[in-house]
């Protein structure tokens, strides 16, 4: 089904207007418009007698419109103000400056709700001209949380697996860091996000008794600044892409084995001032507009 060769400009305008609306606002129960759905809507509304999805796509692309695509974003309540800029600059300083001999910097967070997902049939290894085969069906049998710290200069990872992720479990990780950090290190910088386990009463009380620990919180909605997230993505890709563990305990043992193997060849991630340039430019623009 093709489009009329003399597609009227007013019909094109109607199409562009419709594509710039959410389908629900046009009384269609769709998440996003597709070219086929827009073509049907034009015919249904009597705008044209017929039009192909390909013609719809050509018209939309001429207006640089792709309503079938989506970009996730966060509408932050945190203003891009001087305090926000100071927090960014503080993280940038920790990531890029040479550390003094008595300093250490660690990035901390939790990778939550990891499930063992045992398969009903064992995974089959790859063979010549055949990839590994993972059974689609699996069972649910609980979940665990990895609470971990990433050393920003050496790449060493310290982690514990716990079924819960409260302040008590976060403090267990801090105690493990304390045990594994030489006494000659008198300042341990901890980079964390703003969840309650990192800021709660029990955590603050523990920190008061361990003055060499200093907390640094990433700005709101800037989890990408927390380098442990970069390491978690490696863990996800290399160990958790097709989970197949007999139970939660098996999953936890293999997670700890992965950390041990990582630490044998650990490496840091390369961050520089350029890594923060884009967000700082946005802050400066917001400050200039407010002035």
- When mean pLDDT is compared across 7-21, 68-82, 200-214, the lowest value belongs to 68-82
| More confident of the two residues 133 and 168 | 168
Binned at pLDDT 50, 70 and 90, residue 2 comes out as very low
Q: Is it the case that residue 4 has pLDDT exceeding 90?
A: no
How confident is the model over 150-173, as a mean pLDDT?
A: 97
How confident is the model over 236-253, as a mean pLDDT?
A: 93
CB atoms closer than 10 angstroms to residue 264: 6
144: β partners = 114
pLDDT in tens, 58-106: 999 999 999 999 886 655 666 788 888 999 999 999 999 999 999 999 9
């Amino acid at each position: 089904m093709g489009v009329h060769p003399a597609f009227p400009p007013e019909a094109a305008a109607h199409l562009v207007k419709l594509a710039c609306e959410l389908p629900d606002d046009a009384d269609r129960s769709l998440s996003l418009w597709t070219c086929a759905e827009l073509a049907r809507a034009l015919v249904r509304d009597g705008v044209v007698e017929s039009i192909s999805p390909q013609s719809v796509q050509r018209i939309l692309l001429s207006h640089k419109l792709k309503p079938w695509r989506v970009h996730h974003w966060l509408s932050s309540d945190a203003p891009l103000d001087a305090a926000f800029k100071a927090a960014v600059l503080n993280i940038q300083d920790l990531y890029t400056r040479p550390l003094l001999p008595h300093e250490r910097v660690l990035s901390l967070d939790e990778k939550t709700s990891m499930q063992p997902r045992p398969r009903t049939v064992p995974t089959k290894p790859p063979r010549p001209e055949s990839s590994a085969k993972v059974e689609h069906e699996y069972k649910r049998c609980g979940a665990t949380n990895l609470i971990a710290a990433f050393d920003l200069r050496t790449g060493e990872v310290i982690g514990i697996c716990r079924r819960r992720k409260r302040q008590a479990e976060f403090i267990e990780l801090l105690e493990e860091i304390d045990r594994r950090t030489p006494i000659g290190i008198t300042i341990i910088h901890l980079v964390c996000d703003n969840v309650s386990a990192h800021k709660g009463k029990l955590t603050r009380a523990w920190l008061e008794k361990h003055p060499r620990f200093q907390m640094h919180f990433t700005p709101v909605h800037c989890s990408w600044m927390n380098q442990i997230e970069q390491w978690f993505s490696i863990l996800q890709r290399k160990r958790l892409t097709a989970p197949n563990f007999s139970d939660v305990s098996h999953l936890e043992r293999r997670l700890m084995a992965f950390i041990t193997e990582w630490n044998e060849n650990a490496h840091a991630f390369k961050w520089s001032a350029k890594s923060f340039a884009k967000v700082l430019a946005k802050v400066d623009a917001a400050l200039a507009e407010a002035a």
